[in-house]
A and B are shown apart, each in its own frame.
Chain A
Amino acid sequence: MSNSRSVGGASAARERINQEGNASDPLDKLAASTVSGLDTLGKIAIFGFGMFADLPFVVRHYFSEAIRQAGILVVSSSVVLWVFTLTIGLEAALLAHYILGNVGAQDYAGMFIAFAVMQATSASTFGWIFAAKVGCGYAAELGTMRITEEVDALRVMGMHPRAYLAGTRLLACLLAVPFIFVVTLTMMLAGGWVMAVQILGTTSSGGFLDVLWTFMTPLDVLLALVWSMATVVAIVVVSCYFGYNASGGPVGVGTNTARSMALNLIVASAFTGLFYQVFFGMNVAFPIAN
């Protein structure tokens, strides 16, 4: 029911299927839900391409709004992202202490941190927290504007609502998130250092840093940056789509926020698996035993 409210084409497809076959047949139900899911994905893709096609227009006409959105992003969201990723670094060092301690390789805690931060968790955890803090916020904001008919008002005033609301947010993320993400990496490594050196005493500070810089390459930082930016762009597109196409009052906004969050979690995780295989395959890029 919630699908048919926000996705018009899917409901038409479902009605067609219902007319042709028996609606209570589970196979038909499965087919209908598959069709509506694919329909939503296609609409999100079209919306995302539209956002990218709007970018030159945004740069020419709404650049100040994009800068304002970037400022909001930095001021209100960056601290939350940094604190959470600091705790991820703490957790990674805790695991390194126990796992490497069991095989007598505590001196190599830095290796574990370098792998865990650079190659495995930075982009995915950043993506989850970004989806929760920023993505949910965008979906709720745009959804509220839609149900209070501010989007229609923008159109009446002769503005381009999708470029002004979604395009500026995308441009703001493209401008600000790389810098936020680089600080995020620093916070993760700092969290690992604090837990391993200061709290648990796994290894000495010099030993930790020596191993860390040995096992971390500039290429890793670049790949993590590409990876996280792809995740962030997907999250912004999904949450802007669900916010921009909200309907059905405050409850509809809540439902669409929840749906965007669910899809964002899946997208961030799927990107994690995909990019890990693309960048690293089954090999860990370590300068030992190669």
Chain B
Amino acid sequence: MRVRQVDQREQGARGISRRGVGGVPEPVRSIVVQVGEIIQLAARVLHSALRYPRGYWRDVVDECYVLVKKGLVPSFATVGFFTFVVSAGAYGILSRLGAEHLMAQFTLTISIREVVAFMAAMVVAGIMGTAITADLGSRVIREEISAFRVLGLDAERLLVVPKMLALVVMTALLAVVSVAAVVACGALVGTVAGDVSFAAYWDSLLRNITAPDLVNLAVKTALMGFVIGVVHSYKGLNVSAGPEAVGRAVNQSVVITFIGIFIVNLGMNAFSLAMYPDMNVLR
């Protein structure tokens, strides 16, 4: 059944390019076709994972472990260093205005709403996403995917579904845990390098951190994890031929993922700011 579907998909893509929209210039057409195929892959994987939710959870746990092992240190380092700079800037601006005890507000707003999600997703895309593309791409080159098909196995369910679920879960968890790095680096800047007492920093922090902020962060990064999984799996499964193509696929998928991450970030921010205007109020 899977074989038939894939064949139909390939025939459909070719048929369309020959007949209906042949007048559309090639670059535009290939972009639209790629986006459409990525969405189709996402729908197939979601259907497979939700319709038959059994048999892959052990693999999901394994993938989660790999992700934690490889991603925790880079994620903490990038978030920590960047928050350090942002906090130092916020402290500088606010101390000019004589309101440096409010710096936790700036640190939290900038970090939780923008930086942490972007960084965690970037780390996950850079570490796990590239590995997924390289793994699937080299399997395609060695014709292991074709072998799966011949044996009647569903390669997408066996290879893509566990990684995708692990990415969805772990991107969100890494981002939420990285908030600890934000709080620690903000405190370091404010109390050790700056002139704010820890009590004032903590007070400002607790008054300004809100549940919608954290829920927004978790949902946003889970969506980003899904985008990372789909794009990198698609690019890996559609490697043309030769080892050179694997390198190119890795490169392209990182760029496409960054675009996807940015779109998700902007969309979720606009949505949550409209739904919870309280997130913006200085307290």
**Residues of A that sit less than 8 Å from B by CB:** 80, 84, 87, 91, 94-95, 98-99, 101-103, 111, 115-116, 119-120, 124, 128-129, 131-133, 136-137, 140-141, 143-144, 147-148, 249-251, 253-255, 257-258, 261-262, 264-266, 268-270, 272-273, 276-277, 280, 282-284, 286, 288-289
**Inter-chain contact A269/B81, CB cutoff 8 Å:** yes
Shortest distance from the beta carbon of B149 to any chain A beta carbon, whole Å: 20
Could you tell me the distance between the alpha carbons of A284 and B91 in the complex, rounded to whole angstroms?
9
Chain A residues whose CB sits within 8 angstroms of the CB of B36 once the complex forms: none
Knowing A273-B81, A280-B88, the reply to whether A262 touches B74 (Cβ < 8 A) is yes
**Inter-chain contact A273/B84, CB cutoff 8 Å:** yes
17 further A-B pairs in the complex, CB-CB below 8 A; given A95-B114, A266-B73, A269-B80: A80-B255, A99-B109, A102-B281, A120-B85, A124-B85, A132-B122, A133-B254, A136-B251, A140-B248, A147-B243, A249-B243, A269-B77, A269-B81, A272-B82, A273-B84, A280-B88, A284-B93
**Inter-chain contact B134/A253, CB cutoff 8 Å:** yes
Q: Mark B254-283, 1 if CB is under 8 A from A, else 0.
A: 110010001000100100010000001110
Chain A residues whose CB sits within 8 angstroms of the CB of B244 once the complex forms: 144, 148
**Inter-chain contact A265/B74, CB cutoff 8 Å:** yes
Knowing A144-B244, A258-B134, the reply to whether A115 touches B93 (Cβ < 8 A) is yes
Knowing A140-B251, A261-B130, the reply to whether A282 touches B91 (Cβ < 8 A) is yes
Chain B residues whose CB sits within 8 angstroms of the CB of A116 once the complex forms: 89
Nearest B residue to A277 by beta-carbon distance?
A: B88
Could you tell me the distance between the alpha carbons of A255 and B81 in the complex, rounded to whole angstroms?
25
**Inter-chain contact B96/A254, CB cutoff 8 Å:** no
Could you tell me the distance between the alpha carbons of A24 and B58 in the complex, rounded to whole angstroms?
25
Contact of B250 among A115, A148, A254, A264 (CB under 8 A): A254
Nearest A residue to B93 by beta-carbon distance?
A: A284
**Inter-chain contact A120/B248, CB cutoff 8 Å:** no
Nearest B residue to A87 by beta-carbon distance?
A: B262
Chain A residues whose CB sits within 8 angstroms of the CB of B88 once the complex forms: 276-277, 280, 282
Is B193 engaged at the interface, CB distance under 8 Å to the other chain? Answer: yes
**Inter-chain contact B122/A250, CB cutoff 8 Å:** no
Could you tell me the distance between the alpha carbons of A268 and B250 in the complex, rounded to whole angstroms?
20
Main secondary structure of the interface of B (DSSP, over half): helix
Chain B residues whose CB sits within 8 angstroms of the CB of A119 once the complex forms: 89
**Inter-chain contact A261/B126, CB cutoff 8 Å:** yes
Shortest distance from the beta carbon of A5 to any chain B beta carbon, whole Å: 14
- The residue in B74, B251, B269 that gathers the most chain A C-beta atoms within 10 A of its C-beta is B251
**Inter-chain contact B250/A136, CB cutoff 8 Å:** yes
Q: Mark B109-144, 1 if CB is under 8 A from A, else 0.
A: 110011000000011001110110111011001000
**Inter-chain contact A115/B78, CB cutoff 8 Å:** no
Chain B residues whose CB sits within 8 angstroms of the CB of A280 once the complex forms: 88, 92
**Inter-chain contact A132/B77, CB cutoff 8 Å:** no
Task: Show 23 A/B contacts (Cβ-Cβ < 8 Å), sorted by A.
Answer: A84-B262, A95-B109, A95-B113, A120-B86, A124-B82, A129-B258, A132-B254, A144-B246, A251-B135, A254-B133, A254-B250, A258-B131, A262-B123, A262-B126, A262-B127, A265-B126, A270-B81, A272-B82, A273-B82, A280-B88, A282-B92, A282-B193, A288-B96
Is B247 engaged at the interface, CB distance under 8 Å to the other chain? Answer: yes
- The residue in B243, B266, B269 that gathers the most chain A C-beta atoms within 10 A of its C-beta is B243
**Inter-chain contact A128/B122, CB cutoff 8 Å:** yes
Which interface class (under 10, 10 to 19, 20 to 34, 35 or more) fits B?
A: 35 or more
Nearest B residue to A270 by beta-carbon distance?
A: B81
Is B9 engaged at the interface, CB distance under 8 Å to the other chain? Answer: no
Is B106 engaged at the interface, CB distance under 8 Å to the other chain? Answer: yes
**Inter-chain contact B280/A254, CB cutoff 8 Å:** no
Nearest A residue to B282 by beta-carbon distance?
A: A102
Contact of B134 among A101, A254, A284 (CB under 8 A): A254
Knowing A102-B282, A147-B243, A269-B81, the reply to whether A250 touches B137 (Cβ < 8 A) is yes
Contact of A258 among B130, B189, B262 (CB under 8 A): B130
Chain B residues whose CB sits within 8 angstroms of the CB of A148 once the complex forms: 243-244
Nearest B residue to A102 by beta-carbon distance?
A: B282
Shortest distance from the beta carbon of A64 to any chain B beta carbon, whole Å: 23
Could you tell me the distance between the alpha carbons of A148 and B242 in the complex, rounded to whole angstroms?
10
Shortest distance from the beta carbon of B177 to any chain A beta carbon, whole Å: 17
**Inter-chain contact A254/B126, CB cutoff 8 Å:** no
**Inter-chain contact A140/B77, CB cutoff 8 Å:** no
Q: Mark B187-219, 1 if CB is under 8 A from A, else 0.
A: 001000110000000000000000000000000
Shortest distance from the beta carbon of A104 to any chain B beta carbon, whole Å: 10
Shortest distance from the beta carbon of B118 to any chain A beta carbon, whole Å: 9
Is B70 engaged at the interface, CB distance under 8 Å to the other chain? Answer: yes
Chain A residues whose CB sits within 8 angstroms of the CB of B89 once the complex forms: 115-116, 119-120, 284
Could you tell me the distance between the alpha carbons of A276 and B193 in the complex, rounded to whole angstroms?
13
Shortest distance from the beta carbon of B163 to any chain A beta carbon, whole Å: 14
**Inter-chain contact B84/A265, CB cutoff 8 Å:** no
Chain B residues whose CB sits within 8 angstroms of the CB of A269 once the complex forms: 77-78, 80-82
Chain A residues whose CB sits within 8 angstroms of the CB of B86 once the complex forms: 120
Chain B residues whose CB sits within 8 angstroms of the CB of A99 once the complex forms: 106, 109
Could you tell me the distance between the alpha carbons of A62 and B76 in the complex, rounded to whole angstroms?
41
Nearest B residue to A80 by beta-carbon distance?
A: B255
**Inter-chain contact B255/A144, CB cutoff 8 Å:** no
**Inter-chain contact A265/B123, CB cutoff 8 Å:** yes
Could you tell me the distance between the alpha carbons of A255 and B266 in the complex, rounded to whole angstroms?
31
